[in-house]
Amino acid sequence: MAQVIADRRDIDFVLFEQLEVEELIKAKKFEDLNRKTVDLLINEARSFAIKELLPVNSIGDREGVIYDNMTVKTPDCFKKPFDLLREGEWTAMNEDVEFGGQGLPDIVSKAAVEYLFCNYSLVNYAMMGHGTGKMVELFGTDQQKYMFLNKLYTGKWAGTMLLTEPVAGSDVGALETTAVKKDDGTYSLTGNKIFITNGEHDLTDNIINPVLARIEGAPPGTKGISIFLVPKFWINEDGSIGDRNDIICTGVEEKMGIHASSTCTMSMGSKGGCRGLLLGEENKGMKIMFYMMNEARLSVGFQGFCYASNAYLAALNYARERIQGRDIAAGRDMTAKSVAIINHPDVRRMLLWMKAHVDGMRSFTYYVSKCFDTIKISENEEEKQIAEAFTELLTPVVKAYCSQRGFEICAMAMMVYGGYGYTKEYPVEQLTRDCRITSIYEGTDGIQAMDLLGRKLGMNGGKTLLNLIDKMNDTIAIAKKFPALENITKATENGVIQFLETAQAIGKTAISAGFKNAYASAYPFLEVMGDVIIAWMLLWRAAIASSKLESAGKKDIEFYQGQIKTAEFFIKTVLPGTLGKMNSIKDCNGAAVEISDAGFGGR
């Protein structure tokens, strides 16, 4: 059976039944769109992904990238689909047409990207320039926009993010890269960066590097950091490409996964000639970079979800085809025929666990995308402010929760395959390796949890969290109208109540003398928040399905029944464990911070 990379029926359910995209595209900004054009776009993304991107995914993984004398060669099989990706204008679908985009809603482009991410390493070479372009659009001069914006959004030029250094990983304020202003207004940069995704490759004519550096005499720490645009090839004032800049790749990392993605060590100014343009104001680099960073974090969480969706669907198809063992109902009847493994209860448990998380994460990530659309089109200022606050509150949860659960789903999919899953013959081996990075880059899951607890939980005096709880309670009120959902509705309601109590408890501890204990529980709290959000999303789905069952056609009845059973499984088997975690978080046990270094052993 051909590999399925995304569930189109479920995508349609989320877009048109749960999040009501047809109402969204009635806004003047999207007046040229309708249901038919959205369907055509997603169909084309699916076709392109299956025909051009997916076939070269495993080949690219096997070939990897090749470093040779400061250059990086990407897999040969990437060249054609990469050019088609740009020609198809897939690189900046949600940006304005005047800048090279298609002017689509974020949520619609998200559905297309779900298919395109079947080959993340390839697609990211073209799409990473979007984040670079967004910073130029928001903070660049008119001349910088003229020089860079269209070429970055259309994928003609690539973009990167030069942040990490050998002595300044997550502690960005410790960076050592320096910048000196020259008489012509440009800056001379000197320093080294590591773990730079797409820092060097052969797929585009130029690579534009946003670089964090400290101007001589600037304050220490993050307050003294500025950001610069450092092109691989200098850009002349008329927009043409000039001389090679003094920024070079000195090596690439050999990694566990994403082998076809070039992860580079970059050196600037080794010959004294690295030139850069200041982006925005001096010493405002971190503020500007976080616009790109937050976009990248949402993208990484979505990346983790896409690996999970791909792995789940691969395992599901395998379970339907793999004949192994008699049905348990056959007892000791040795003459009974072997059945497909999807008939075995434990396999069904694994599949439904994966499905529940995949469905919930799809709704969750699409919901955040719709918040961005609401910010763009709403004429209600309060509604816009709530949507904007939601994007800030939920970004660390999307990034960390979807990354971690994505990896766990890939690992469970491997278990469905058994020994075959551990081999390169089937796709889940690569998916599991590739997915692991999502919990690490753009800020580890632990850093996201600290951000959630330290910065986001108390936003607007806690009002943003309460607004989110109100949204959950709105869904619960609707679900109460359906008697068949009574048990899972009550369980979800209790989960939401307990979650709010847990948030309030850890929030208080975080500003008390025991604040270290709170931060030791920050990641478990983020997981709890993610679980409650997934329960909310699945109950929301079940309520919609319940409202449509009576009038549903034959082909939709099983789909809607599946929505209800999926919600039941998660809320009755996963959420109880989440409640146990909440009790632990409220206790904020201090063992992790109280144990002595020697007490960890290992000597």
Tokens of 157: 């030029």
Segments making up each domain of the chain, as ranges: 457-603
Please give the Cα distance from 572 to 210 (Å, whole number). Answer: 47
For the segment 259-305, what is each residue's pLDDT rounded down to a tens digit? 999 999 999 999 999 999 999 999 999 989 888 888 899 999 999 99
Specify the amino acid at residue 593.
Answer: V
Digit-coded pLDDT (tens) for 22-40: 999 999 999 899 999 999 9
Which fold, 457-603?
Answer: Butyryl-CoA Dehydrogenase, subunit A; domain 3 (1.20.140)
Confirm whether pTM is higher than 0.85.
yes
Structure confidence at residue 262 (pLDDT): 97
348-359 b/e (C-beta count within 10 Å ≥ 16 → b)? eebbbbbbbbbb
Give Cβ neighbours of residue 481 (< 8 Å, ≥ 6 apart): 543
Pairing of strands 247-252, 263-268: antiparallel
pLDDT attached to residue 603:
79
Long-range Cβ contacts of 287-291 (<8 Å, 24+ apart)? 288/135, 288/138, 288/139, 288/227, 289/135, 289/161, 289/163, 289/210, 289/212, 289/227, 291/134, 291/135, 291/138, 291/139
Q: Stretch 147-166: mean pLDDT, rounded?
A: 94
- Predicted local distance difference test score (pLDDT) of residue 189: 97
271: how many CB neighbours lie within 10 A of its CB? 9
Q: Which residue has the tokens 């995914």?
A: 57
- Enumerate residues 6+ apart whose C-beta is below 8 A from 527: 401, 404, 578, 581
Report pLDDT for 239.
Answer: 84
Res 402 pLDDT > 80: yes
**Sequential DSSP letters for 198-215:** TSS-SSSS-EEEEEEEEE
Hunting for tokens 């046990």 — which residue is that? 589
Q: Are strands 178-181 and 187-197 parallel, antiparallel or unpaired?
A: antiparallel
Q: What is the DSSP letter of 63?
A: H
| Residue 1 pLDDT exceeds 60 | no
pLDDT beyond 80 at 102: yes
Put residue 70 in one of left, alpha, beta given phi > 0 → left and psi -120 to 50 → alpha.
left
Q: Is the pLDDT of residue 84 over 80?
A: yes
Whether 385 contacts 375, CB under 8 Å: no
What are the pLDDT digits (tens) for 561-593?
999 999 999 999 999 999 999 999 999 899 999
Q: Answer yes or no: are the C-beta atoms of 508 and 451 closer than 8 Å.
A: no
Q: SS3 for 197? A: strand
The residue that leads in pLDDT, 35 or 169, is 35
pLDDT score of 2 = 62
Give, in order, the Cα–Cα distances in Å from 465 to each of 453, 459, 461: 12, 8, 9
Question: Burial of 485 by CB count in 10 Å (0-12 exposed, 13-18 middle, 19+ buried)?
Answer: buried
Residue type (1 letter), 274:
C
Three-class SS of residue 467?
A: helix
C-alpha distances (whole Å) from 178 to each of 173, 192, 200, 264, 599 are: 13, 10, 21, 20, 41
Give the H or E element holding residue 187: strand 187-197
* Residue 293, pLDDT score: 84
Angle CA 250–252–258, to nearest 5:
160
Q: In the predicted model, what is the mean pLDDT of the chain? A: 95
Examine the pLDDT at 256 and tell me if it is beyond 60: yes
Count of CB atoms situated within 10 Å of the CB of 156: 16
What kind and span of H or E run contains 252? strand 247-252
- pLDDT reported for residue 349: 98
Secondary structure of residue 340 in the 3-state scheme: strand
Active site residues: 442
